[in-house]
């Protein structure tokens, strides 16, 4: 489509002015009028607000990377408690690290140039510049295995049901709720499509090896539950911090719904904060525009790709969203039945 020069040069950038800044929302609003990834982060804030304001929208979030060891746990808990999101898909590692902290233990600041052989001698695990006590991790592996052994061994569990029950268990004795326990309290579904690739999977596998459980995960049941959840929503918005399995698991719901003869046309909104580039061809760096060719994002969707470290973007975005008290208080979030099977109730 051809445009005149006047149309092309229609919107000037606005230099960021420090005077008069009121709060985090104001910072992101100003950033949206600049350029590059600062602008994209400001636009991400705008799109997230659109999701919250849309009375038809169910919001699904995918989160990968070691976000809990990096200190993002209370931000995610805030999103769940205040229904800035309605569904969370993440790695078993993030859920495990959250349980570790909910049970009163910590991750620690280190540095990226520490002597890793020395750390190994002391059973200290390193995640870039964050450290953890491997002895405590192994204790929690065993605790998760013992929890799995107490479940009904005669039937499989979706990861959604397993995490709901696990959240109720860990929350019962917690001084402070975390992600998994707060989601259970709020009856909000969590999904973990690669649960075996984590200390949760390790704990369950160790317990099985000792003959304590025969627990089976119903992974296809998870796929059907999250797909039906999307299909039963009038509109959906997606938010991704990082790529990997959580991102595609949410993305594919629209495709699976179409294959199930559901009348779906793609997610209405999309925000992604990633560091992967699209030119390598991997899903983690896939743009929302590319996703439209698959039918994962709707035509005309309100969407933004922001290339930024999620540990920078998440505190800014969630802090700004927390300031939207009117939007949060008036939002009618979907409600869920969280028993053996999942059911979403239409917004009223």
Mean pLDDT by 10 residues, the chain (348 residues): 94 96 98 99 99 98 98 99 99 98 98 99 99 98 97 98 98 95 98 97 97 96 97 97 98 93 93 97 95 95 98 99 98 95 82
Alpha carbons within 13 angstroms on the beta-carbon side of residue 131 total: 17
Q: Which H or E element spans position 222?
A: helix 219-231
pLDDT of residue 306: 98
Q: Is 48 helix (H, G, I), strand (E, B) or coil?
A: helix
Nearest C-alpha neighbor of 65 from the set 142, 128, 113: 128
CA distance 265 to 236: 10
pLDDT of residue 257: 93
Where do we find the tokens 């119903």? 218
Where do we find the tokens 């927390």? 322
CA distance 339 to 225: 12
Question: Would you please indicate which residues are annotated as catalytic (active-site) residues?
Answer: 296
Angle between helices 159-172 and 134-149 (to 10 degrees): 110
pLDDT of residue 348: 57
Q: Is 227 helix (H, G, I), strand (E, B) or coil?
A: helix
pLDDT of residue 173: 84
Q: Which residues, in sequence order, are bridge partners of residue 344?
A: 336
Model confidence, pTM:
0.97
Query: Class of 10-332 per CATH?
Result: alpha beta
pLDDT of residue 45: 99
pLDDT of residue 84: 99
CA distance 150 to 162: 12
Which residue spans within 1-136 are E strands per DSSP?
57-63, 87-90, 108-109, 124-127, 130-133
Domain coordinates of the chain in residue numbers? Answer: 10-332
């Amino acid at each position: 489509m051809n445009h005149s020069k006047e149309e092309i040069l229609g919107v000037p950038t606005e230099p960021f002015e420090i005077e008069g800044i009121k709060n985090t929302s104001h910072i992101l609003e100003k950033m949206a009028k600049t350029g590059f990834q600062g602008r994209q982060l400001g636009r991400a804030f705008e799109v997230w607000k659109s999701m919250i304001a849309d009375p038809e929208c169910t919001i699904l979030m995918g989160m990968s990377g070691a976000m809990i060891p990096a200190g993002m746990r209370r931000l995610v808990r805030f999103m769940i408690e205040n229904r800035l999101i309605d569904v969370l898909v993440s790695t078993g590692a993030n859920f495990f690290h959250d349980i570790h902290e909910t049970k009163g233990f910590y991750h620690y600041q280190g540095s990226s140039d520490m002597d890793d052989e020395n750390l190994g001698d002391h059973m200290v695990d390193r995640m870039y510049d964050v450290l953890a006590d491997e002895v405590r991790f192994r204790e929690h592996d065993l605790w998760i295995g013992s929890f799995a052994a107490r479940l009904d061994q005669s039937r499989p569990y979706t990861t959604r049901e397993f995490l709901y029950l696990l959240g109720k268990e860990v929350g019962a004795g917690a001084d402070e709720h975390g992600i998994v326990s707060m989601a259970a309290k709020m009856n909000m579904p969590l999904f973990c499509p690669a649960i075996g690739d984590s200390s949760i999977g390790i704990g369950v596998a160790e317990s099985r090896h000792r003959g304590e459980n025969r627990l089976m995960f119903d992974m296809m049941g998870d796929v059907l539950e999250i797909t039906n959840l999307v299909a039963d929503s009038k509109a959906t918005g997606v938010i991704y911090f990082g790529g990997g399995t959580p991102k595609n698991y949410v993305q594919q719901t629209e495709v699976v719904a179409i294959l199930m003869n559901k009348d779906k046309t793609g997610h209405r909104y999309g925000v992604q904060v990633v560091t992967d580039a699209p030119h390598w061809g991997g899903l983690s760096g896939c743009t929302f525009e590319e996703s439209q060719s698959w039918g994962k994002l709707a035509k005309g969707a309100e969407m933004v790709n922001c290339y930024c470290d999620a540990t920078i973007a998440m505190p800014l975005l969630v802090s700004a969203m927390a300031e939207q008290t009117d939007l949060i208080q008036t939002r009618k979030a979907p409600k869920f039945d969280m028993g053996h099977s999942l059911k979403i109730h239409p917004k009223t």
